[in-house]
Amino acid sequence: MTEASLIGKSMVRSDTVAKAAGQALYTADLKLPRMLVGKVLRSPHPHARILNIDTSRAERLRGVKAVITGRDGHGVKWGVFPYTQDHDMVPTDKVRYIGEEVAAVAAVDEETALEALSLIDVEYEPLPAVFTIEEALKEGAPLVHDQYKNNINVHVHIEVGDTQKAFKEADIVLEDTFEAAGEMYGMLEPYAVVAHYTPDGYLDIWMPNAGPHVRAKALSNLLKMPLNKIRVHHINSGGAFGGRSEISPGDFVTSLLAIKSGRPVKLVYTREETSIATRQVHDIVARIKTGARKDGTIIAKEFKVYYNGGAYSSTGPIATSIPFYVYEETYRLPNLVYDGYRILTNRPIRGMYRCHGRAFLAGNAMHMDKIAEELGMDPMDIRLKNGIRAGETTATGSKIISCGLQDAIKAAARKSGWKKKRGKLPPYRGIGMGCLAIMCGFPMGFRSGSSAYIRVNEDGDATIVSGVVDNGQGNESMMVQIAAHILGIPMDSVNLVCSDTEVTTHDPGAYSQAAAFVTGNAVRLAAEDARDKILTAAAQYMKVDKTRLALKDKMVYLKDDPEKAIKLTRAVRYAMSKGQHIQGYGTYIPKISFDREWVKNPYGQMAGTFSYGTSIAELEVDPETGIVRLLRMVVAHDCGNPINPMAVEGQLEGSVAMGGTATILEEHVWDGGLQLNSDFLEYKMPLSVDMPDIDTILVRSMDPEGPFGAKEGGLTISMSAYKAIANAFYDATGVWLKEFPYTPDRVLKALQAKEKGRR
């Protein structure tokens, strides 16, 4: 018998049989006795003062059980940070975007609820509105919130080294502006909430979310209820991609309706509501100045990046910073000035997104290729040269403890035929490269850690209790696999109880790439603790030294004499008979700087570790129509050590769609504050027939801290795919296209501009 090993094996995910059978429940599937239907009245104005709301006619309608407005709340404003508390979940003073919550009803059925909405009379005084970054920053522009002068919501300023001096010493200096329209999260599951309030003061609530504990805390603040009376329950989530990390007004509204009516209430958003009234993605304008030496070393960077944040702060300070950090975690940047501005406008609220920052990141990638071209360097070599390595420290002070960037670059290049293709493909065909890092966990102060319990039952099966959240990535299954591996039992012998705030332990949630590294470590430690207790009991029972024992196939055996073994159940029962129940506990908090703050002190250790990735895109441009066709993507990602390789591949492939194909297709289109494509027909999420061939490569850097060497699995590809496409487009056409997405009209305009320039 050899040591059991499930790690590194492509195992069937623990959650997918129920999903395949159609038996997995999502929020909208829940039914409770006497449940009411909730509906929300939304603002038709992008910016207006609310003069009066009269709900009396709606209240009188038969079948209506509760009507709420902002006056039913406690006047508490939500904000992720103390200095961003500006979001009245149902405002009473003014509305700030089309689609904002104004009132809500709960009624016996959908028809009645909709009719009741039409009976609510709201008097508005429309106010002048601002929609774009430019409009919002204009002198004398209307203010979205009085407290944010010039509509500047967040300003992140980071300075390292002596940038002015470095630019003077640079042999090449480039300066360009890059722009990108915002995208749609497009999780397939429309947002939904079910809430039930009982007379003893408990609120039970279900909604797709990426962090039940932070949800509960937000609700506790807003509803002025003790934290342990808010029970956010586990439910399957039909995708998140960063859009379900924060409390949503829907949670608040449904809770108020449930409290007021005394009955369970279900609120299911339409697709349009999901699109406009949950979260959207920032539009970005990025001015980038780069200085490099003749040998290709980047020595200076100056960034001015503007993010259109919509009407409220949301995760503003984080969103304004992340594109910068993932970049500084990738390359050595000795001298830099970063100014990130999040600008408020009368558009829906923008949040963090899986592929956040495409104008900024692709812009930097284009600069790197431009420099390589001027110096006659291979774009691959300039990346190898400037790429950060293990043991180094990033510009703002994060130590890199493992780094597979060099390997990822080389592996992707080899697989894609880079040397044979770059600069050598026929006209209008091109290949390009982009690299990126990602932090495994955001600094979240005391919330940065995770803990877990594991109990081993008398039948040898185990139950994990963890705060882990799964929005589809496979996080739940990953925890089961880790525990099963350590306990030497099959995955289907492990039950997972998770993301239920009154039952499960704390966890940072699934929106900061922390699940493998942080939660995985907590579960690993809990399983090791349980294993230790099993081995202790078995050692007593077998009268051997504990260090000689190991677990496999539900047996405890002697490593040096595998024939000598007892059943796991025997060991567990023996322990129980001694009053020593097998319960393991593990807790893990990454080694991060606690005095780091997104705005006030953006220096210090950002995360415990970082993942690395490289995307290589090969594409074809139709010079007559401007249509770009993505032919192939080769993506290599260093996830430390893949716990479930096929699950990691799935993350990479999904990233190719969301970060890659999306670069050609995806953008929200607007008429002022009105979104013209909130649906799945006119918003262009990639279809099967739009996808390129994909080659995935898993790079193993064996992180010294990660569980079994593992780190986050896949996000670097989401955020580097568009870099690769921008550079491949140049290789195909000789045009640096600085505006995203690469829709055919933009492409054609750019090709024509080049033609004109040539004549």
Partner 1 sequence: MKLPEFEYFNPRDVPSTLELLALHGEQAVLLGGGTDLLVRMKQGLLKPGVVISLRGVEDLRGIRKQKDGTLMIGALTRITDLLESSVIRRKYPGLAQAAGAVSAPPLQNMGTVGGNLTQETRCLYYNQSAMWRRSKPTCFKAGGATCNAVKGGSHCFATYQGDLAPMLIALSARVVLSKKGGSRAIPLEDLYTGKGKIPVRKDPDELLEGIILPPPDKNTVCRYEKLRLRQALDYPLVGVAVCLTLSEDKTRCVSGRLVLTAVGSGPVLVDDDGLMQDAEVSDDWIQSLAEAAYKAAKPVPNVLTPPAYRKRMARVLTRRALNRALKD
Partner 2 sequence: MNRIPITLLVNGEPYSLAVPPNKTLLEVLRDDLELMGTREGCGVGACGACTVLIDGVPARSCLTLAVDVQGLSITTIEGLAEGDELHPVQEAFVERHAIQCGYCSSGMILTAKALLDKKKRPTKDEIKRAISGNICRCTGYAKIEDAIATAAKKLATPSK
Q: How many residues in the chain? A: 759
Q: Which among partner 1, partner 2, none contacts residue 22 (Cβ within 5 to 8 A by kind)? A: partner 2
661 secondary structure, DSSP code:
I
Q: Mask 310-349, x = binds partner 1 (CB under 8 A)?
A: ----------------------------------------
**Region of residue 306 (phi > 0: left; psi between -120 and 50: alpha; otherwise: beta):** beta
Across-strand partners of 242?
Answer: none
Closest distance of CB 48 from partner 1, Å? 11
- Residue 671 binding result from partner 2, partner 1, none, given CB thresholds of 5 to 8 Å by partner type: partner 1
Name the packing angle between helices 520-542 and 568-577 (round to 10°).
80
Burial class (CB in 10 A: 0-12, 13-18, 19+), 262: middle
Q: Which of partner 1, partner 2, none sits in contact with 98, Cβ below 5 to 8 A by type?
A: partner 1
By CB under 8 A, tell whether 295 contacts partner 2: no
> Which residue number, 47 or 65, has a Cβ lying nearer to partner 1?
47
The size of the interface with partner 2 (CB under 8 A), counted in residues, is: 54
Nearest to 4 by CA among 489, 455, 535, 537: 489
Contact 79, 87 (CB under 8 A): yes
Q: Is 35 in the site for partner 2 (CB under 8 A)?
A: no
Geometric angle at alpha carbon 183, from 179 and 188, rounded to 5°: 170
Q: Does 503 bind partner 2 (CB under 8 A)?
A: no
Q: How far is the CB of 749 from partner 1 (least distance, A)?
A: 8
627 contact choice in partner 1, partner 2, none (CB below 5 to 8 Å, kind-dependent): partner 1
Burial label for 111, CB within 10 Å (0-12, 13-18, 19+), is exposed
Applying CB under 8 A, does 756 fall inside the site for partner 1?
no
CA 591-607-279 angle, to 5 degrees, is 140
- Alpha-carbon distance 724 to 614, whole Å? 8
- Note whether 609 and 403 are within 8 A (CB): no
- The single residue among 13, 289, 358, 506 that binds partner 2, judged by CB under 8 A, is 13
- Assess 123 for contact with partner 1 (CB under 8 A): no
Find the shortest distance in angstroms from Cβ 650 to partner 1. 22
Among residues 401 and 691, whose Cβ is nearest to partner 1? Answer: 691
Q: Which is nearer to partner 1, 17 or 676 (CB)?
A: 676
Cα Rg, the chain, nearest whole Å: 27
With 0-12 / 13-18 / 19 or more C-beta atoms within 10 angstroms meaning exposed / middle / buried, residue 220 is middle
Task: Write the Ramachandran bin of 397: left for phi over 0, alpha for psi from -120 to 50, otherwise beta.
Answer: left
Taking CB under 8 A as the binding criterion, the range among 15-23, 151-159, 323-331, 595-603 that sits at the site for partner 2 is 15-23
Given the complex with partner 2, which of 18 and 753 has the nearer CB atom? 18
Residues numbered 380 to 409 that lie near partner 1 (CB under 8 A) are: none
Torsion over CA: 5, 7, 8, 13 (sign): positive
Could you give the string, one character per residue 227-246, with x where binding to partner 2 holds by CB under 8 A and - elsewhere? Answer: ---------xxxx-x-----
Lookup: tokens for 514 = 């922390």
Out of 3, 9, 19, 393, which residue is the one contacting partner 2 (CB under 8 A)? 19
Q: Which residues pair with 298 in a beta bridge?
A: 292
| Residue 270 touching partner 1 (CB under 8 A) | yes
209 neighbors 232 (Cβ within 8 angstroms): yes
Q: Would you count residue 743 as binding partner 1 (CB under 8 A)?
A: yes
CB of 678 to partner 1, least distance (A): 8
Taking the complex as a whole, the smallest distance from the CB of residue 8 to partner 2 amounts, in Å, to 15
Stretch that binds partner 1, among 238-246, 255-263, 424-432, 679-687 (CB under 8 A): 679-687
Alpha helices by DSSP H, listed for 304-443, are: 316-319, 322-328, 358-375, 379-386, 405-416, 418-421
Spatial CA neighbour of 324 closest among 257, 269, 265, 398: 398
State the binding partner of 237 from partner 2, partner 1, none, CB within 5 to 8 A by kind. Answer: partner 2
Q: Which does 419 bind (CB under 5 to 8 A by kind): partner 1, partner 2, none?
A: none
Full strand arrangement of the beta sheet holding 36-42: 64-69, 101-107, 36-42, 265-268, 192-198, 202-206, 230-232
Cα-based angle 754, 755, 756 (whole degrees, multiple of 5)? 90
Q: How far apart are CA 570 and CA 555, in angstroms?
A: 9
| H-state helical runs in 490-519 | none
Q: Which of 242, 432, 449, 472 binds partner 2 (CB under 8 A)?
A: 472
State the Cα–Cα distance between residues 329 and 326, nearest whole angstrom.
Answer: 5
User: Least Å distance between CB 622 and partner 2?
Assistant: 20
CA distance readout (Å), 110 to 27, 586, 624: 17, 46, 50
- Asked if residue 38 binds partner 1 (CB under 8 A), the reply is no
Q: Choose which of 1, 35, 627, 702 interacts with partner 1 (CB under 8 A).
A: 627
Instruction: Give the one residue of 50, 156, 572, 694 binding partner 2; rule: CB under 8 A.
Output: 694
Question: Which residue in 403, 447, 319 sits closest to 613, CA to CA?
Answer: 403
Q: Which does 626 bind (CB under 5 to 8 A by kind): partner 1, partner 2, none?
A: partner 1
> 84 or 519, CB closer to partner 2?
519
Of the pair 605, 678, the CB lying nearest partner 1 is at: 678
**Residue 89 token pair:** 């979940």
Smallest distance, Å, CB 132 to partner 1?
A: 18
Helix (H, G, I), strand (E, B) or coil at 369: helix
Asked if 680 touches partner 2 (CB under 8 A), the answer is yes
272 binds partner 1 (CB under 8 A): yes
- Residue from 3, 9, 10, 581 touching partner 2 (CB under 8 A): that is 10
Q: Which of 473, 641, 663, 733 binds partner 2 (CB under 8 A)?
A: 473
Cβ of residue 475: shortest distance to partner 2, in angstroms?
11
Q: Is there binding between residue 663 and partner 2 (CB under 8 A)?
A: no
- Name the helix (H) or strand (E) containing 203: strand 202-206
CB of 23 or CB of 688, closer to partner 1:
688
Check binding of 266 to partner 1 (CB under 8 A): no
CB 638 within 8 A of CB 611: yes
Per CB under 8 A, which region of 233-241, 553-561, 602-610, 742-750 contacts partner 1?
A: 742-750
- Considering the rule CB under 8 A, would residue 58 count as an interface residue with partner 1? no
Binding-site member from 562, 669, 753, 755 for partner 1 (CB under 8 A): 669
With CB under 5 to 8 Å by kind, the binding choice for 655 among partner 1, partner 2, none is partner 2
Instruction: Give the contact letters, 264-283, x = binds to partner 2 (CB under 8 A), - = no.
Output: ------xx------------
What is the DSSP code (8-state) at residue 347?
S
Angle at 308 between CA 179 and CA 615, to 5 degrees: 45
State the residues that interact with partner 1 by CB under 8 A. Answer: 42, 44-46, 98-99, 110-111, 114, 270, 272, 624-627, 665, 669, 671, 673-674, 676-678, 681-682, 684, 686-690, 743-745, 748
Q: Which residues bind partner 2 (CB under 8 A)?
A: 10, 12-13, 15-17, 19-26, 28-29, 31, 186-190, 236-239, 241, 270-271, 471-474, 646-647, 649-650, 653-658, 661, 679-681, 685-689, 691, 694
